[in-house]
Amino acid sequence: QVHLQESGPGLVKPSETLSLTCTVSGGSISNYYWSWIRQPPGKGLEWIGFVYYSGTTNYNPSLRSRVTMSLDTSKNQFSLKLSSLTAADTAVYYCARHRSDQFEYWGQGTLVTVSS
Amino acid sequence: DIQMTQSPSSVSASVGDRVTITCRASQGIRSWLAWYQQKPGKAPKLLIYTASTLQSGVPSRFSGSGSGTDFTLTISSLQPEDFATYYCQQANTFPLTFGGGTKVEIK
C-alpha cells in the first residue's frame, strides 16, 4: 500500500519561504505525477501543482511566481517551496499521487501557519 | 480557470436516506471528474473517478453520473460513516480545480 508523509515546519514567518517534503513509501516515485494541494482552515481545496518523475512541472497560475517543486528519486521524495509567504498561505498542505484525472493517494496533511 | 459549483452546500439527512449532490462545471469537462469524501481532520479520500468509476474498496452505495457540465454523486442509503464533506474535482483542464464542498450532516 502506498503511503505518503509530509514533513516541514509548522510555523513560518511572513515574507519567508516554506519548504515541505513528501516521503513516499510502499511504492516507487517513478512513473507517476506527484501533486501538492492545500486547504485553508475551514475552507476548500486548492491544487498547487504537480511534479512528474521526469522532473516536468505544472503549477497553478495563481501561485506560479512563488512555487518550485522538485523530486529526489534516490530518496523517493518530492518537495514544495513556496516563497513570499503571507497569512493567506496558512493552510493544511497535502501531498498526493496524481493519476490521470484523480488524486488516488494522499498524505495526512501538515498545518502550516504563517505568523510573526 | 474552470469553476466547479456544488449544490447544496450542506444537506441534513437521516441514516437510510438517499442523498444526491450535484456539481456543475463552468465549461465542458467531458467525463474528467472525480469525487472525494473528507472527514474532519483527515485527508480527502477518492470515491469516484472519470465521473462514474468506483474506486476500489468504496462501497457500492456510492455512485456517480454525468458528463459535459453536469454531474451527480448519489449515496443510495446513507450510513453513519458517510457523514462528511464531499468535493468534486475536474481534471479536464489545468489548473485542476475543486468544488466548494457539500457537507452531509445528521438530521
Classify each residue of B61-78 as buried b or exposed e, where b means 16 or more C-beta atoms within 10 Å of its C-beta: ebbbebeebebbbebeeb
Distance from CA of A38 to the nearest CA of B (A): 10
User: pLDDT tens digits, chain B, 107 residues: what are they?
Assistant: 999 999 999 999 999 999 999 999 999 999 999 999 999 999 999 999 999 999 999 999 999 999 999 999 999 999 999 999 999 999 999 999 999 999 999 88
Query: Does residue B66 sit at the A interface (CB-CB below 8 Å)?
Result: no
Cβ contacts (< 8 Å) between A106 and chain B: which residues?
43-45
User: From residue B10, how far is each of B4, B13, B65, B73, B90 by CA, in Å?
Assistant: 16, 10, 20, 14, 20
A113: its cell numbers: 501557519
**Chain A residue closest to B43 (CA)?**
A108
Sequence letter at residue B88: C
| Per-residue pLDDT tens digits for A11-43 | 999 999 999 999 999 999 998 999 999 999 999
Cβ contacts (< 8 Å) between A35 and chain B: which residues?
96
Residues of chain A predicted below pLDDT 50: none
d(CA A86, CA A51): 24
A44, A61, A107 member nearest B43 (Cβ): A107
Cβ contacts (< 8 Å) between B55 and chain A: which residues?
102, 104
Cβ contacts (< 8 Å) between B94 and chain A: which residues?
58, 60
Helix (H/G/I), strand (E/B), else coil: A65: helix
The answer for A 37-66 residues in CB contact with B (under 8 A) is 44-47, 58, 60-62
> Is the CB of B99 less than 8 angstroms away from the CB of A108?
no
**Chain A residue closest to B31 (CA)?**
A101
In what side-by-side order are the strands of the sheet with A3-7?
A: A3-7, A18-25, A77-82, A67-72
Dihedral (C-alpha) A91, A94, A99, A100: value to the nearest 10 degrees?
A: 0
CB half-sphere exposure, A4, CA atoms < 13 A: 27
B71: its cell numbers: 454531474
Closest CA to A48 of B43, B95, B15, B41: B95
User: From residue A79, how far is each of A62, A83, A111, B9, B11 by CA, in Å?
Assistant: 19, 13, 16, 33, 37
Which residues touch A100 (CB under 8 Å, ≥6 apart)? Answer: B49, B50, B91
Distance from CA of B61 to the nearest CA of A (A): 19
Distance from CA of B86 to the nearest CA of A (A): 10
> Is the CB of B98 less than 8 angstroms away from the CB of A46?
yes
| Cis preceding-peptide flag for B95 (omega within 30 of 0) | yes
d(CA A75, CA B10): 42
